[in-house]
Structure 1
Amino acid sequence: MTVRYEILVPGSSLAFEGGFFGISSIVLVEAGGKRALFDCGHGTTRRLLREGLAARGLALDDIDLLVFSHGHFDHVLNLDLFPNAPILMSRDERDYVETPFEDDPATPRYLPALLSDRDVQLIDGEAEILPGVTAFPTPGHAPGHISLELAAADGPVVLAADALKTAREALSGIPDMEIDPQKRGKAAIREVLRRGKVIVPGHHPTLFKDEDGNLSWSDLQEMPLLIR
């Protein structure tokens, strides 16, 4: 079973003093006759998401499923664009967003209210969520974080989200912004690298792994800045 995927919004790690833009990757996954979005971004990427779907001849209602890697604001707050789509996330993350750690700067405290009237489907551990699409636990950046492994003709593709945000994390093995007292972020990075021949990070262009395990990437992170 070969799965199709397209990056609708490329992730970026660009930041400024005192904050960051929160441009996380949004990926369209097509498998088993279903269209799913892996994460859906927030206000900063709302227009880019709409335009990405429209460029592919898709309307908002054409999305059958939202899959949340975790509950951080830059990955989930466009959920209102897809009011009829079920939401899939890990049970651990769904439980966590009810009572986030006090020093967690990225999980909206109002997220439970946004989820309360939605069809939220929960998974435990590793699970095939669509034909050829396997969700697997990658806690560390968030306690209930999940990533996706896609069956592809040239080898497995891993949509890592923030289990592996940047090339720096991939090369160093050291996670940035680890909101997990159990410190499982390093293990999550190793698991993503072990599984994926192609890896789509949460905030960096796509990574490619050769037969010797060396990583490369060809795209640049670009952001034209407009002063209004």
Structure 2
Amino acid sequence: MTPTLTTLLNGYSLNTDQGNPAFCSVHLVESEAGRVLFDCGHAGRRRMLLEAMSARGLEPADIDTVVLSHGHWDHLQNADFFRQARVLLHADELRNLDAPPAKDLGTPRWAKAVLDGLDVQSTGEGDELIPGVEVLELPGHTPGSIGLAVTTDAGTTVLTGDAVPTAAVLRAGRASGRPYDAAKADASVERVAGLADVVCPGHDAPFRISASGNLEYVVSPEPLVFRGGSRAVFDSSPTPPPQSFNSSPTPPPQSFEETP
């Protein structure tokens, strides 16, 4: 049976002058052989994650395997929901969680405590989690960043975590941010580009890579609505609309809604 892939929580690439909300994508892979959750988001999205699962008739106990793309806080905080599941990280990432360097502001020293009491196991390149779902090593963003290659009806779909956080990163062919190892991070972006028919990035909507190399979203990115007081201001001017690459123009995926 070909696995099916569902995006439970959409990813968004955001930043503010007060910090990063860090909404990562959360994906569910299902087949008769089991259910695999790829990343689980941070504590600010706990209710949203449970609601997204409930809408599919699922609860945390129904998940067999949780794969954490890496140890950054925005990708692993909700792992404690899944106490019956095995939780997989790369061995290099587990070592990094033991003693994250000061430069790694995305992995606070308490991050490993989130995994206390869980069935944490290491995984690596080529591990088959269920038929049609294999682990990919995509290092650079962090020492042990991993993704999943999923055989779907659309071809090979690669779940990347922050190895490819946005479509713009793959289009540029270079990693973004402050990776541990820039050369390895760039090589991971190149690997995804050469392998994937569809990419599910860490902080963007899934997109397709055509035979000619063009990028187009599989579905229109879901808008993100901001609710708050009048002190909140949304400014999209520094970043072009994400569908500006070889596709018809659309409004930016974020919108601002002010409430009293």
Under TM normalisation by the shorter chain, which class is it? over 0.9
Matching residue's letter, 1:72: H
User: Identical aligned pairs, as a percentage?
Assistant: 36
Task: Give the deviation of 1:214 after TM superposition.
Answer: 1.2
Gapped runs of 5+ residues in structure 2? 230-260
CA root-mean-square deviation: 1.5
Task: Give the deviation of 1:168 after TM superposition.
Answer: 1.4
Matching residue's letter, 2:221: L
Query: Which residue pairs with 1:56 in the alignment?
Result: 56
Q: Pairwise mapping of residues 1-40 of structure 1 onto structure 2 (< 5 A)?
A: 1-40=1-40
Normalised by the size of structure 1, how large is the TM-score? 0.94
8 A contact 1:156–1:195 mirrored in 2: yes
Task: Give the deviation of 1:18 after TM superposition.
Answer: 3.5
Displaced runs of 4+ in structure 1, greater than 6 A?
none
Normalised by the size of structure 2, how large is the TM-score? 0.83
Task: Give the deviation of 1:164 after TM superposition.
Answer: 0.3
Which stretch of the first structure deviates more once superposed, 170-179 or 50-59? 170-179
SS of 1:21's partner is coil
1:109 matched to 2:104? The reply is no
Which stretch of the first structure deviates more once superposed, 116-125 or 2-11? 116-125
8 A contact 2:33–2:131 mirrored in 1: no
Give the Cα–Cα distance (whole angstroms) in 2 for the partners of residues 80 and 164 of structure 1.
Answer: 25
Give the Cα–Cα distance (whole angstroms) in 2 for the partners of residues 150 and 220 of structure 1.
Answer: 21
1:84 matched to 2:84? The reply is yes
Q: Which has the larger radius of gyration?
A: 2
8 A contact 2:83–2:119 mirrored in 1: no
Gapped runs of 5+ residues in structure 1? none
Matching residue's letter, 1:227: G
8 A contact 1:160–1:202 mirrored in 2: yes
Task: Give the deviation of 1:199 after TM superposition.
Answer: 0.5
Query: Which residue pairs with 2:237 in the alignment?
Result: none
1:212 matched to 2:227? The reply is no
Q: Pairwise mapping of residues 102-181 of structure 1 onto structure 2 (< 5 A)?
A: 102-181=102-181
8 A contact 1:206–1:219 mirrored in 2: no
SS of 1:78's partner is helix
Matching residue's letter, 1:110: W
1:191 matched to 2:205? The reply is no
Query: Which residue pairs with 1:69 in the alignment?
Result: 69
Give the Cα–Cα distance (whole angstroms) in 2 for the partners of residues 34 and 93 of structure 1.
Answer: 25
Give the Cα–Cα distance (whole angstroms) in 1 for the partners of residues 127 and 196 of structure 2.
Answer: 17
Give the Cα–Cα distance (whole angstroms) in 1 for the partners of residues 36 and 154 of structure 2.
Answer: 21
Give the Cα–Cα distance (whole angstroms) in 1 for the partners of residues 211 and 181 of structure 2.
Answer: 35
Give the Cα–Cα distance (whole angstroms) in 2 for the partners of residues 60 and 117 of structure 1.
Answer: 15
8 A contact 2:89–2:122 mirrored in 1: yes
SS of 2:105's partner is coil
8 A contact 2:124–2:135 mirrored in 1: no
Residues 122 and 32 (structure 1 numbering): CA distance in 2 closer, same or farther, change over 3 Å? farther
Give the Cα–Cα distance (whole angstroms) in 2 for the partners of residues 200 and 28 of structure 1.
Answer: 11
- Greater relative contact order (CA < 8 Å, ≥ 6 in sequence): 1
Query: Which residue pairs with 2:224 in the alignment?
Result: 223
Give the Cα–Cα distance (whole angstroms) in 2 for the partners of residues 43 and 112 of structure 1.
Answer: 15
Matching residue's letter, 1:207: F
Give the Cα–Cα distance (whole angstroms) in 1 for the partners of residues 20 and 116 of structure 2.
Answer: 28
8 A contact 2:175–2:182 mirrored in 1: no
Give the Cα–Cα distance (whole angstroms) in 2 for the partners of residues 23 and 15 of structure 1.
Answer: 10
8 A contact 1:12–1:221 mirrored in 2: no
SS of 1:142's partner is coil
How many residues align structurally? 228
Give the Cα–Cα distance (whole angstroms) in 1 for the partners of residues 111 and 57 of structure 2.
Answer: 30
Task: Give the deviation of 1:126 after TM superposition.
Answer: 2.8
